[in-house]
Amino acid sequence: MDASPPSETDIAGRGEARPAVPLARGLSAKLLMLTVVFVMFAEVLIFVPSIANFRIRWLEERLATAAAVSIVLIANDAGSTPENLQKDVLMAIGAKAIAVRDEEGVSRLVAVSDMPQAVDEHINLEQTGRLRSVASALDTLAFGGKRMLRIYGHVGDSDKVFELIMPDWRLRNAMLVYSRNVALVSLLISVFTALLVYTAINRIMILPIRAMTGAMLAFSRAPEEPASIIEPEPRSDEIGVAERELAAMQTTLQRVLGERRHLADLGLAVSKINHDMRNMLSSAQLLSDRLHSIKDPAVQSLAPKLVRTLDRAVAYSSGVLAYGRTQEPAPARRRLKLHQLVEEVREAVGAEASGVDFVNAVEDGFEIDADAEQLFRVLANLARNAVQAMAGDTEEAIVRRLTLSAERKGSVSRIIVADTGPGLPPKARENLFAAFRGSARSGGTGLGLAIAHELVRAHGGQLELVESVGGRTVFSVSIPDQPVSIEQARGALRRPA
Ligand SMILES: Nc1ncnc2c1ncn2[C@@H]1O[C@H](COP(=O)(O)OP(=O)(O)OP(=O)(O)O)[C@@H](O)[C@H]1O
Ligand SMILES: [Mg+2]
Protein backbone atom coordinates (compact mmCIF):
# COMPACT_ATOMS: atom_id res chain seq x y z
CA MET A 1 0.00 0.00 0.00
CA ASP A 2 1.55 3.18 -1.13
CA ALA A 3 -0.20 5.48 1.26
CA SER A 4 1.67 8.49 2.46
CA PRO A 5 -0.29 10.10 5.30
CA PRO A 6 -2.34 12.89 3.77
CA SER A 7 -1.83 16.30 5.24
CA GLU A 8 -4.74 17.86 7.10
CA THR A 9 -5.21 20.57 4.53
CA ASP A 10 -5.51 17.92 1.82
CA ILE A 11 -8.12 16.10 3.80
CA ALA A 12 -10.10 19.23 4.40
CA GLY A 13 -9.80 19.83 0.66
CA ARG A 14 -8.46 23.36 1.06
CA GLY A 15 -4.91 23.98 0.18
CA GLU A 16 -4.67 27.75 0.35
CA ALA A 17 -5.82 29.93 3.20
CA ARG A 18 -8.68 32.14 2.09
CA PRO A 19 -9.01 35.67 3.46
CA ALA A 20 -12.08 36.85 5.33
CA VAL A 21 -14.62 38.95 3.40
CA PRO A 22 -13.56 42.64 3.30
CA LEU A 23 -15.94 44.98 5.11
CA ALA A 24 -16.90 47.00 2.02
CA ARG A 25 -18.05 43.85 0.19
CA GLY A 26 -19.54 42.22 3.25
CA LEU A 27 -23.13 41.84 4.31
CA SER A 28 -22.98 44.96 6.53
CA ALA A 29 -22.21 47.33 3.66
CA LYS A 30 -24.92 45.78 1.48
CA LEU A 31 -27.40 46.07 4.32
CA LEU A 32 -26.58 49.74 4.92
CA MET A 33 -26.93 50.60 1.23
CA LEU A 34 -30.18 48.70 0.86
CA THR A 35 -31.75 50.38 3.88
CA VAL A 36 -30.88 53.87 2.61
CA VAL A 37 -32.26 53.06 -0.84
CA PHE A 38 -35.47 51.52 0.47
CA VAL A 39 -36.21 54.33 2.93
CA MET A 40 -35.59 56.91 0.19
CA PHE A 41 -37.97 54.98 -2.04
CA ALA A 42 -40.62 55.00 0.69
CA GLU A 43 -40.12 58.74 1.09
CA VAL A 44 -40.71 59.27 -2.63
CA LEU A 45 -44.00 57.40 -2.31
CA ILE A 46 -44.98 59.76 0.51
CA PHE A 47 -43.69 62.87 -1.28
CA VAL A 48 -45.82 62.55 -4.44
CA PRO A 49 -49.27 62.95 -2.78
CA SER A 50 -47.94 65.50 -0.31
CA ILE A 51 -46.62 67.87 -3.02
CA ALA A 52 -50.06 67.69 -4.70
CA ASN A 53 -51.70 68.60 -1.38
CA PHE A 54 -49.25 71.42 -0.90
CA ARG A 55 -50.15 72.91 -4.28
CA ILE A 56 -53.90 72.79 -3.66
CA ARG A 57 -53.51 74.36 -0.20
CA TRP A 58 -51.28 77.11 -1.58
CA LEU A 59 -53.84 77.96 -4.29
CA GLU A 60 -56.75 77.85 -1.79
CA GLU A 61 -54.94 80.29 0.47
CA ARG A 62 -54.47 82.71 -2.43
CA LEU A 63 -58.10 82.46 -3.45
CA ALA A 64 -59.26 82.95 0.16
CA THR A 65 -57.15 86.10 0.48
CA ALA A 66 -58.45 87.39 -2.84
CA ALA A 67 -62.01 86.67 -1.72
CA ALA A 68 -61.55 88.59 1.53
CA VAL A 69 -60.08 91.56 -0.30
CA SER A 70 -62.81 91.52 -2.98
CA ILE A 71 -65.58 91.58 -0.37
CA VAL A 72 -64.04 94.63 1.27
CA LEU A 73 -63.52 96.35 -2.06
CA ILE A 74 -67.09 95.66 -3.20
CA ALA A 75 -68.44 96.93 0.09
CA ASN A 76 -66.52 100.19 -0.42
CA ASP A 77 -68.28 100.60 -3.71
CA ALA A 78 -66.09 99.13 -6.34
CA GLY A 79 -65.73 100.60 -9.74
CA SER A 80 -64.30 103.60 -8.06
CA THR A 81 -61.41 101.79 -6.40
CA PRO A 82 -58.31 103.81 -7.19
CA GLU A 83 -55.92 102.09 -9.57
CA ASN A 84 -53.05 102.32 -7.11
CA LEU A 85 -54.97 100.46 -4.47
CA GLN A 86 -55.95 97.78 -7.01
CA LYS A 87 -52.29 97.34 -7.98
CA ASP A 88 -51.18 97.07 -4.36
CA VAL A 89 -53.82 94.45 -3.64
CA LEU A 90 -52.92 92.46 -6.73
CA MET A 91 -49.19 92.64 -5.97
CA ALA A 92 -49.73 91.47 -2.40
CA ILE A 93 -51.62 88.42 -3.64
CA GLY A 94 -49.35 87.92 -6.67
CA ALA A 95 -52.27 88.07 -9.10
CA LYS A 96 -53.10 89.89 -12.36
CA ALA A 97 -56.84 90.13 -11.85
CA ILE A 98 -59.57 89.30 -9.34
CA ALA A 99 -63.21 88.78 -10.30
CA VAL A 100 -66.39 87.79 -8.47
CA ARG A 101 -69.46 86.09 -9.90
CA ASP A 102 -72.63 86.37 -7.84
CA GLU A 103 -75.41 83.77 -7.53
CA GLU A 104 -77.19 85.14 -10.62
CA GLY A 105 -74.11 84.55 -12.71
CA VAL A 106 -73.18 88.20 -13.09
CA SER A 107 -69.42 88.56 -13.19
CA ARG A 108 -67.60 91.59 -11.96
CA LEU A 109 -63.92 92.50 -12.23
CA VAL A 110 -62.82 93.65 -8.78
CA ALA A 111 -59.22 94.49 -9.49
CA VAL A 112 -57.09 94.25 -12.59
CA SER A 113 -53.64 95.23 -13.74
CA ASP A 114 -52.22 94.44 -17.20
CA MET A 115 -54.67 91.70 -18.05
CA PRO A 116 -52.87 88.77 -19.79
CA GLN A 117 -53.72 87.82 -23.36
CA ALA A 118 -54.45 84.19 -22.66
CA VAL A 119 -54.79 81.77 -19.77
CA ASP A 120 -52.90 78.46 -19.98
CA GLU A 121 -54.65 76.47 -17.28
CA HIS A 122 -58.05 76.65 -15.59
CA ILE A 123 -58.13 75.28 -12.06
CA ASN A 124 -61.47 74.62 -10.41
CA LEU A 125 -60.57 74.27 -6.74
CA GLU A 126 -63.84 72.45 -6.05
CA GLN A 127 -62.96 69.60 -8.39
CA THR A 128 -59.54 68.39 -7.45
CA GLY A 129 -59.38 64.61 -7.83
CA ARG A 130 -56.39 62.87 -6.24
CA LEU A 131 -54.84 61.60 -9.44
CA ARG A 132 -55.48 64.81 -11.32
CA SER A 133 -53.92 66.94 -8.61
CA VAL A 134 -50.86 64.64 -8.45
CA ALA A 135 -50.44 64.88 -12.23
CA SER A 136 -50.88 68.68 -12.19
CA ALA A 137 -48.39 69.06 -9.33
CA LEU A 138 -45.74 67.01 -11.15
CA ASP A 139 -46.49 68.93 -14.35
CA THR A 140 -46.05 72.29 -12.60
CA LEU A 141 -42.79 71.10 -11.05
CA ALA A 142 -41.37 69.80 -14.30
CA PHE A 143 -42.65 72.24 -16.93
CA GLY A 144 -44.28 75.16 -15.05
CA GLY A 145 -42.91 78.63 -14.31
CA LYS A 146 -44.15 80.51 -17.38
CA ARG A 147 -47.82 79.76 -17.42
CA MET A 148 -50.85 81.88 -16.62
CA LEU A 149 -53.40 80.28 -14.30
CA ARG A 150 -57.07 80.96 -13.73
CA ILE A 151 -58.15 79.76 -10.32
CA TYR A 152 -61.79 79.79 -9.32
CA GLY A 153 -64.19 78.34 -6.79
CA HIS A 154 -66.35 79.11 -3.78
CA VAL A 155 -64.62 80.29 -0.64
CA GLY A 156 -65.94 79.31 2.76
CA ASP A 157 -69.78 79.44 2.92
CA SER A 158 -70.05 82.36 0.49
CA ASP A 159 -72.39 81.78 -2.46
CA LYS A 160 -70.19 83.85 -4.74
CA VAL A 161 -67.59 82.32 -7.02
CA PHE A 162 -64.21 84.06 -6.82
CA GLU A 163 -61.74 84.04 -9.64
CA LEU A 164 -58.08 84.80 -9.73
CA ILE A 165 -55.73 85.18 -12.69
CA MET A 166 -52.10 84.74 -11.75
CA PRO A 167 -48.75 83.53 -13.19
CA ASP A 168 -47.56 80.20 -11.81
CA TRP A 169 -43.93 81.00 -11.07
CA ARG A 170 -44.59 81.86 -7.43
CA LEU A 171 -46.45 78.58 -7.01
CA ARG A 172 -43.63 76.68 -8.65
CA ASN A 173 -40.98 78.37 -6.52
CA ALA A 174 -42.90 77.52 -3.36
CA MET A 175 -43.24 73.92 -4.54
CA LEU A 176 -39.51 73.69 -5.29
CA VAL A 177 -38.62 74.95 -1.83
CA TYR A 178 -41.06 72.47 -0.33
CA SER A 179 -39.55 69.61 -2.39
CA ARG A 180 -36.03 70.55 -1.38
CA ASN A 181 -37.00 70.52 2.27
CA VAL A 182 -38.73 67.17 1.92
CA ALA A 183 -35.67 65.74 0.15
CA LEU A 184 -33.37 66.92 2.91
CA VAL A 185 -35.62 65.54 5.63
CA SER A 186 -35.97 62.25 3.72
CA LEU A 187 -32.23 61.91 3.45
CA LEU A 188 -31.83 62.57 7.16
CA ILE A 189 -34.57 60.11 8.04
CA SER A 190 -33.24 57.40 5.76
CA VAL A 191 -29.68 57.72 7.00
CA PHE A 192 -30.90 57.72 10.58
CA THR A 193 -33.16 54.70 9.99
CA ALA A 194 -30.44 52.92 8.10
CA LEU A 195 -28.04 53.45 10.97
CA LEU A 196 -30.59 52.14 13.46
CA VAL A 197 -31.45 49.09 11.34
CA TYR A 198 -27.79 48.52 10.56
CA THR A 199 -26.72 48.67 14.21
CA ALA A 200 -29.50 46.34 15.27
CA ILE A 201 -29.03 43.78 12.49
CA ASN A 202 -25.29 44.05 12.74
CA ARG A 203 -25.39 43.06 16.39
CA ILE A 204 -28.05 40.41 16.00
CA MET A 205 -26.92 38.79 12.74
CA ILE A 206 -23.89 40.10 10.96
CA LEU A 207 -21.41 39.91 13.83
CA PRO A 208 -22.35 36.31 14.67
CA ILE A 209 -22.24 35.39 10.96
CA ARG A 210 -18.80 37.00 10.64
CA ALA A 211 -17.72 35.08 13.72
CA MET A 212 -18.97 31.87 12.13
CA THR A 213 -17.21 32.63 8.84
CA GLY A 214 -14.04 33.36 10.77
CA ALA A 215 -14.38 30.09 12.68
CA MET A 216 -14.83 28.15 9.44
CA LEU A 217 -11.78 29.78 7.88
CA ALA A 218 -9.73 29.16 11.03
CA PHE A 219 -10.87 25.55 11.02
CA SER A 220 -9.98 25.05 7.37
CA ARG A 221 -6.51 26.41 8.09
CA ALA A 222 -5.88 24.24 11.14
CA PRO A 223 -8.50 21.51 11.39
CA GLU A 224 -6.52 19.57 13.99
CA GLU A 225 -6.43 22.53 16.41
CA PRO A 226 -9.09 22.09 19.16
CA ALA A 227 -9.22 25.88 19.59
CA SER A 228 -10.48 26.35 16.02
CA ILE A 229 -13.84 24.78 16.87
CA ILE A 230 -16.45 27.53 17.26
CA GLU A 231 -17.92 28.13 20.71
CA PRO A 232 -21.66 28.42 20.20
CA GLU A 233 -23.55 31.22 21.96
CA PRO A 234 -26.56 30.30 24.06
CA ARG A 235 -29.19 31.63 21.64
CA SER A 236 -32.37 29.93 20.58
CA ASP A 237 -32.74 31.46 17.11
CA GLU A 238 -31.50 30.16 13.75
CA ILE A 239 -27.99 31.56 14.28
CA GLY A 240 -27.76 29.70 17.57
CA VAL A 241 -28.81 26.49 15.84
CA ALA A 242 -26.30 27.12 13.02
CA GLU A 243 -23.49 27.74 15.51
CA ARG A 244 -24.27 24.61 17.50
CA GLU A 245 -24.52 22.51 14.34
CA LEU A 246 -21.24 23.96 13.05
CA ALA A 247 -19.54 23.16 16.36
CA ALA A 248 -20.90 19.60 16.23
CA MET A 249 -19.76 19.21 12.62
CA GLN A 250 -16.30 20.55 13.35
CA THR A 251 -15.95 18.23 16.36
CA THR A 252 -16.96 15.21 14.27
CA LEU A 253 -14.72 16.24 11.41
CA GLN A 254 -11.78 16.71 13.77
CA ARG A 255 -12.31 13.23 15.20
CA VAL A 256 -12.64 11.69 11.73
CA LEU A 257 -9.51 13.46 10.56
CA GLY A 258 -7.63 12.09 13.58
CA GLU A 259 -8.87 8.59 12.81
CA ARG A 260 -7.94 8.92 9.16
CA ARG A 261 -4.47 10.04 10.08
CA HIS A 262 -4.04 6.99 12.28
CA LEU A 263 -5.39 4.72 9.53
CA ALA A 264 -3.07 6.27 6.97
CA ASP A 265 -0.10 5.70 9.29
CA LEU A 266 -1.26 2.16 9.86
CA GLY A 267 -1.71 1.60 6.11
CA LEU A 268 1.83 2.79 5.51
CA ALA A 269 3.17 0.40 8.15
CA VAL A 270 1.15 -2.53 6.74
CA SER A 271 2.35 -1.78 3.27
CA LYS A 272 6.00 -1.79 4.41
CA ILE A 273 5.60 -4.99 6.39
CA ASN A 274 3.74 -6.62 3.51
CA HIS A 275 6.42 -5.62 1.05
CA ASP A 276 9.21 -7.09 3.14
CA MET A 277 7.16 -10.16 3.86
CA ARG A 278 6.61 -10.79 0.15
CA ASN A 279 10.36 -10.66 -0.43
CA MET A 280 10.99 -13.08 2.42
CA LEU A 281 8.26 -15.41 1.20
CA SER A 282 9.71 -15.32 -2.31
CA SER A 283 13.09 -16.43 -0.94
CA ALA A 284 11.38 -19.20 1.01
CA GLN A 285 9.59 -20.21 -2.21
CA LEU A 286 12.89 -20.51 -4.05
CA LEU A 287 14.33 -22.65 -1.27
CA SER A 288 11.27 -24.85 -1.04
CA ASP A 289 11.54 -25.69 -4.75
CA ARG A 290 14.79 -27.47 -3.87
CA LEU A 291 12.90 -29.77 -1.46
CA HIS A 292 11.69 -31.75 -4.50
CA SER A 293 15.15 -33.13 -4.97
CA ILE A 294 15.24 -34.68 -1.48
CA LYS A 295 14.23 -38.32 -1.66
CA ASP A 296 12.89 -38.66 1.92
CA PRO A 297 9.21 -39.77 1.59
CA ALA A 298 8.12 -37.53 4.48
CA VAL A 299 9.70 -34.53 2.75
CA GLN A 300 8.15 -35.62 -0.57
CA SER A 301 4.66 -35.70 0.93
CA LEU A 302 5.01 -32.40 2.79
CA ALA A 303 6.86 -30.45 0.11
CA PRO A 304 3.89 -29.87 -2.29
CA LYS A 305 1.73 -28.56 0.59
CA LEU A 306 4.50 -26.27 1.73
CA VAL A 307 5.00 -24.98 -1.81
CA ARG A 308 1.27 -24.41 -2.29
CA THR A 309 1.01 -22.54 1.00
CA LEU A 310 3.96 -20.36 0.11
CA ASP A 311 2.49 -19.74 -3.38
CA ARG A 312 -0.74 -18.59 -1.84
CA ALA A 313 1.02 -16.37 0.66
CA VAL A 314 3.06 -14.71 -2.10
CA ALA A 315 -0.05 -14.25 -4.26
CA TYR A 316 -1.88 -12.75 -1.30
CA SER A 317 0.92 -10.30 -0.53
CA SER A 318 1.21 -9.29 -4.17
CA GLY A 319 -2.53 -8.77 -4.49
CA VAL A 320 -2.69 -6.55 -1.40
CA LEU A 321 0.29 -4.54 -2.57
CA ALA A 322 -1.19 -4.09 -6.03
CA TYR A 323 -4.54 -2.98 -4.64
CA GLY A 324 -2.93 -0.40 -2.39
CA ARG A 325 -0.78 0.95 -5.17
CA THR A 326 -3.06 1.04 -8.16
CA GLN A 327 -5.18 3.94 -9.11
CA GLU A 328 -7.12 2.46 -12.01
CA PRO A 329 -6.76 4.61 -15.16
CA ALA A 330 -9.92 5.90 -16.78
CA PRO A 331 -11.30 3.29 -19.23
CA ALA A 332 -10.05 3.69 -22.81
CA ARG A 333 -13.25 2.65 -24.55
CA ARG A 334 -13.51 0.99 -27.97
CA ARG A 335 -16.08 -1.19 -29.67
CA LEU A 336 -15.15 -4.79 -28.89
CA LYS A 337 -16.19 -8.18 -30.19
CA LEU A 338 -17.47 -9.70 -26.99
CA HIS A 339 -17.47 -13.28 -28.24
CA GLN A 340 -13.73 -13.11 -28.85
CA LEU A 341 -13.07 -11.49 -25.47
CA VAL A 342 -14.99 -14.28 -23.72
CA GLU A 343 -12.84 -16.83 -25.57
CA GLU A 344 -9.76 -15.16 -24.10
CA VAL A 345 -11.36 -15.39 -20.66
CA ARG A 346 -11.95 -19.09 -21.24
CA GLU A 347 -8.24 -19.62 -21.85
CA ALA A 348 -7.22 -17.48 -18.90
CA VAL A 349 -9.32 -19.19 -16.24
CA GLY A 350 -8.52 -22.74 -17.33
CA ALA A 351 -12.07 -23.93 -16.76
CA GLU A 352 -11.67 -27.26 -18.56
CA ALA A 353 -8.68 -28.24 -16.41
CA SER A 354 -10.90 -27.91 -13.34
CA GLY A 355 -13.64 -30.04 -14.91
CA VAL A 356 -15.90 -27.10 -15.60
CA ASP A 357 -17.88 -26.81 -18.82
CA PHE A 358 -17.34 -23.26 -20.12
CA VAL A 359 -20.15 -22.12 -22.47
CA ASN A 360 -19.60 -19.01 -24.53
CA ALA A 361 -23.20 -18.10 -25.42
CA VAL A 362 -22.37 -14.64 -26.70
CA GLU A 363 -23.57 -14.12 -30.28
CA ASP A 364 -20.81 -13.84 -32.84
CA GLY A 365 -21.60 -10.29 -33.92
CA PHE A 366 -22.23 -8.86 -30.43
CA GLU A 367 -20.37 -5.58 -29.92
CA ILE A 368 -19.75 -3.78 -26.68
CA ASP A 369 -18.36 -0.33 -25.96
CA ALA A 370 -15.72 -0.81 -23.24
CA ASP A 371 -12.04 -0.86 -22.28
CA ALA A 372 -10.80 -4.25 -23.52
CA GLU A 373 -8.27 -4.87 -20.76
CA GLN A 374 -10.58 -3.76 -17.95
CA LEU A 375 -13.60 -5.68 -19.22
CA PHE A 376 -11.37 -8.76 -19.57
CA ARG A 377 -10.35 -8.42 -15.92
CA VAL A 378 -13.95 -8.06 -14.79
CA LEU A 379 -15.11 -11.14 -16.67
CA ALA A 380 -12.00 -13.13 -15.72
CA ASN A 381 -12.58 -12.37 -12.03
CA LEU A 382 -16.23 -13.42 -12.20
CA ALA A 383 -15.41 -16.54 -14.23
CA ARG A 384 -12.49 -17.51 -11.99
CA ASN A 385 -14.69 -17.17 -8.90
CA ALA A 386 -17.30 -19.43 -10.48
CA VAL A 387 -14.71 -22.00 -11.56
CA GLN A 388 -13.11 -21.97 -8.10
CA ALA A 389 -16.52 -22.39 -6.44
CA MET A 390 -17.50 -25.29 -8.68
CA ALA A 391 -14.09 -26.96 -8.50
CA GLY A 392 -14.59 -27.06 -4.73
CA ASP A 393 -17.62 -29.33 -5.15
CA THR A 394 -16.58 -32.88 -4.28
CA GLU A 395 -19.62 -34.75 -5.64
CA GLU A 396 -18.74 -36.22 -9.06
CA ALA A 397 -22.28 -36.17 -10.49
CA ILE A 398 -22.78 -32.43 -10.01
CA VAL A 399 -23.14 -30.39 -13.21
CA ARG A 400 -20.32 -27.87 -13.45
CA ARG A 401 -21.23 -25.35 -16.11
CA LEU A 402 -20.29 -21.72 -16.51
CA THR A 403 -22.27 -19.75 -19.11
CA LEU A 404 -21.47 -16.27 -20.39
CA SER A 405 -24.18 -14.61 -22.47
CA ALA A 406 -25.02 -11.06 -23.50
CA GLU A 407 -28.02 -8.99 -24.48
CA ARG A 408 -28.55 -5.38 -25.47
CA LYS A 409 -31.34 -3.10 -24.29
CA GLY A 410 -31.22 0.25 -26.06
CA SER A 411 -27.79 1.68 -25.41
CA VAL A 412 -26.98 -0.67 -22.51
CA SER A 413 -25.14 -3.95 -22.96
CA ARG A 414 -25.72 -6.57 -20.31
CA ILE A 415 -23.42 -9.55 -19.82
CA ILE A 416 -24.73 -12.45 -17.75
CA VAL A 417 -22.28 -14.75 -15.95
CA ALA A 418 -24.18 -17.77 -14.67
CA ASP A 419 -22.80 -20.89 -12.99
CA THR A 420 -24.22 -24.07 -11.50
CA GLY A 421 -22.06 -23.86 -8.37
CA PRO A 422 -23.01 -23.90 -4.71
CA GLY A 423 -23.90 -20.18 -4.45
CA LEU A 424 -22.25 -17.45 -2.43
CA PRO A 425 -21.50 -18.21 1.21
CA PRO A 426 -23.20 -15.78 3.66
CA LYS A 427 -19.91 -14.05 4.46
CA ALA A 428 -19.33 -13.22 0.79
CA ARG A 429 -22.93 -12.09 0.34
CA GLU A 430 -22.85 -9.72 3.32
CA ASN A 431 -19.60 -8.11 2.19
CA LEU A 432 -20.31 -8.21 -1.52
CA PHE A 433 -17.93 -5.86 -3.39
CA ALA A 434 -16.15 -4.77 -0.14
CA ALA A 435 -12.37 -5.14 -0.54
CA PHE A 436 -10.65 -7.74 1.73
CA ARG A 437 -13.87 -8.59 3.57
CA GLY A 438 -15.80 -10.80 1.20
CA SER A 439 -13.44 -13.72 0.78
CA ALA A 440 -14.79 -17.00 2.05
CA ARG A 441 -12.15 -19.02 0.23
CA SER A 442 -8.89 -20.09 1.77
CA GLY A 443 -6.15 -18.26 -0.10
CA GLY A 444 -8.58 -15.67 -1.49
CA THR A 445 -7.82 -12.02 -0.87
CA GLY A 446 -11.39 -10.86 -1.30
CA LEU A 447 -10.32 -8.34 -3.92
CA GLY A 448 -11.69 -9.84 -7.14
CA LEU A 449 -15.30 -8.68 -6.85
CA ALA A 450 -14.28 -5.32 -5.31
CA ILE A 451 -11.97 -4.55 -8.24
CA ALA A 452 -14.52 -5.77 -10.81
CA HIS A 453 -17.17 -3.56 -9.21
CA GLU A 454 -14.85 -0.55 -9.33
CA LEU A 455 -13.97 -1.12 -13.01
CA VAL A 456 -17.61 -1.48 -14.08
CA ARG A 457 -18.52 1.68 -12.17
CA ALA A 458 -15.75 3.54 -14.00
CA HIS A 459 -17.61 2.63 -17.23
CA GLY A 460 -20.77 4.20 -15.80
CA GLY A 461 -22.22 0.70 -15.47
CA GLN A 462 -23.33 -1.68 -12.75
CA LEU A 463 -22.16 -5.04 -11.44
CA GLU A 464 -24.96 -6.89 -9.67
CA LEU A 465 -25.54 -10.24 -8.05
CA VAL A 466 -28.84 -11.21 -9.66
CA GLU A 467 -29.38 -14.40 -7.73
CA SER A 468 -27.42 -16.99 -5.80
CA VAL A 469 -28.91 -20.25 -4.66
CA GLY A 470 -27.43 -23.72 -4.60
CA GLY A 471 -27.08 -24.68 -8.28
CA ARG A 472 -27.49 -21.23 -9.75
CA THR A 473 -25.41 -18.10 -9.24
CA VAL A 474 -25.89 -15.21 -11.65
CA PHE A 475 -23.90 -12.00 -11.88
CA SER A 476 -24.83 -9.29 -14.36
CA VAL A 477 -22.55 -6.62 -15.80
CA SER A 478 -24.42 -3.69 -17.37
CA ILE A 479 -22.36 -1.25 -19.41
CA PRO A 480 -23.98 1.70 -21.18
CA ASP A 481 -22.48 2.94 -24.44
CA GLN A 482 -20.52 6.16 -24.24
CA PRO A 483 -22.82 9.13 -24.54
CA VAL A 484 -22.61 10.65 -28.03
CA SER A 485 -22.76 14.43 -28.27
CA ILE A 486 -25.39 15.90 -30.61
CA GLU A 487 -22.66 17.53 -32.71
CA GLN A 488 -20.92 14.17 -33.20
CA ALA A 489 -24.18 12.46 -34.14
CA ARG A 490 -25.02 15.21 -36.65
CA GLY A 491 -21.51 15.01 -38.07
CA ALA A 492 -21.91 11.25 -38.55
CA LEU A 493 -25.26 11.76 -40.29
CA ARG A 494 -23.87 14.41 -42.63
CA ARG A 495 -20.94 12.25 -43.68
CA PRO A 496 -21.78 10.32 -46.86
CA ALA A 497 -22.15 6.59 -46.24
N1 LIG B 1 -19.74 -17.60 -8.50
C2 LIG B 1 -19.53 -17.79 -7.20
N3 LIG B 1 -20.03 -18.86 -6.56
C4 LIG B 1 -19.83 -19.03 -5.23
N5 LIG B 1 -19.16 -18.18 -4.46
C6 LIG B 1 -18.64 -17.08 -5.03
C7 LIG B 1 -18.80 -16.82 -6.43
N8 LIG B 1 -18.21 -15.64 -6.70
C9 LIG B 1 -17.68 -15.20 -5.55
N10 LIG B 1 -17.92 -16.08 -4.53
C11 LIG B 1 -17.54 -15.92 -3.14
O12 LIG B 1 -17.26 -14.55 -2.91
C13 LIG B 1 -16.01 -14.38 -2.30
C14 LIG B 1 -15.38 -13.10 -2.74
O15 LIG B 1 -14.92 -13.17 -4.07
P16 LIG B 1 -13.72 -12.29 -4.54
O17 LIG B 1 -13.46 -12.58 -5.96
O18 LIG B 1 -14.02 -10.90 -4.16
O19 LIG B 1 -12.54 -12.75 -3.64
P20 LIG B 1 -11.72 -14.10 -3.73
O21 LIG B 1 -12.10 -14.84 -4.94
O22 LIG B 1 -11.89 -14.78 -2.42
O23 LIG B 1 -10.24 -13.56 -3.82
P24 LIG B 1 -9.49 -12.99 -5.11
O25 LIG B 1 -10.47 -13.00 -6.22
O26 LIG B 1 -9.12 -11.63 -4.68
O27 LIG B 1 -8.35 -13.85 -5.33
C28 LIG B 1 -15.23 -15.63 -2.69
O29 LIG B 1 -14.30 -15.94 -1.68
C30 LIG B 1 -16.30 -16.69 -2.79
O31 LIG B 1 -16.52 -17.26 -1.53
MG1 LIG C 1 -12.03 -14.01 -6.89
Residue 392: give its domain's CATH number. Answer: 3.30.565.10
Higher pLDDT: 443 or 441? It is 441
Nearest-atom index, ligand 1, CA of 450: 18
What is the pLDDT, as a whole number, of residue 327? 66
Nearest-atom index, ligand 1, CA of 386: 1
Q: Is the CB of 433 under 6 A from ligand 1?
A: no
**Same domain flag for 306 and 377:** no
The count of other CB atoms within 10 Å of the CB of residue 450 is: 21
Q: Kindly list the distances between the CA atom of residue 119 and the CA atoms of 146, 166, 188, in Å, as whole numbers in the listed order.
A: 11, 9, 40
Query: 245-271: per-residue pLDDT in tens?
Result: 999 999 999 999 888 888 878 777 777
Q: Quote the domain boundaries for residue 482.
A: 334-488
Quote the ligand 2 centre to 381 CA distance (angstroms).
Answer: 5
Is residue 156, in this structure, part of any structural domain at all?
A: yes
**Same domain flag for 319 and 352:** no
Give the distance, in angstroms, between the CA of residue 380 and the centroid of all CA atoms in the same chain: 42
**What mean pLDDT is reported for the chain?**
85
Taking the CA atoms of the chain, what radius of gyration do you get in angstroms? 48
- The protein residue whose alpha carbon is closest to atom 27 in ligand 1 is 444
What is the pLDDT, as a whole number, of residue 135? 92
Is residue 233, in this structure, part of any structural domain at all?
A: no
Is residue 140, in this structure, part of any structural domain at all?
A: yes
Residues 379/477, Cβ–Cβ less than 8 Å: yes
Nearest-atom index, ligand 1, CA of 417: 1
**Same domain flag for 130 and 74:** yes
**Same domain flag for 288 and 308:** yes
What is the pLDDT, as a whole number, of residue 462? 95
Q: Is the CB of 383 under 6 A from ligand 1?
A: no
DSSP letters of 185-244? HHHHHHHHHHHHHHHHHIIIIIHHHHHHHHHHHHHHH-TT-GGGS----S--SHHHHHHH
Higher pLDDT: 123 or 490? It is 123
Domain boundary among 188, 220, 240: 188
Is residue 247, in this structure, part of any structural domain at all?
A: no
- Alpha carbon distance 246, 237 (integer Å): 14
Question: Of the ranges 95-109, 301-315, 331-345, which one carries the lowest mean pLDDT score?
Answer: 301-315
State the total domains in the chain. 3
Residue among 441, 451, 453, 476 whose CB has most ligand 1 atoms within 8 A, to mutate:
441
- Alpha carbon distance 193, 37 (integer Å): 11
Burial class (CB within 10 angstroms; exposed 0-12, middle 13-18, buried 19+) of 349: buried
Nearest-atom index, ligand 1, CA of 475: 1
**Same domain flag for 40 and 180:** yes
Candidate ranges 6-20, 305-319, 351-365; pick with highest mean pLDDT? 351-365
Is residue 231, in this structure, part of any structural domain at all?
A: no
Domain boundary among 158, 188, 218: 188
- Alpha carbon distance 255, 11 (integer Å): 12
Is residue 228, in this structure, part of any structural domain at all?
A: no
The count of other CB atoms within 10 Å of the CB of residue 63 is: 24
Confidence class for position 325, pLDDT limits 50, 70, 90:
low
**Same domain flag for 319 and 413:** no
Q: Is the CB of 425 under 6 A from ligand 1?
A: yes
Question: Of the ranges 211-220, 457-466, 484-493, which one carries the lowest mean pLDDT score?
Answer: 484-493
Domain boundary among 274, 303, 325: 325
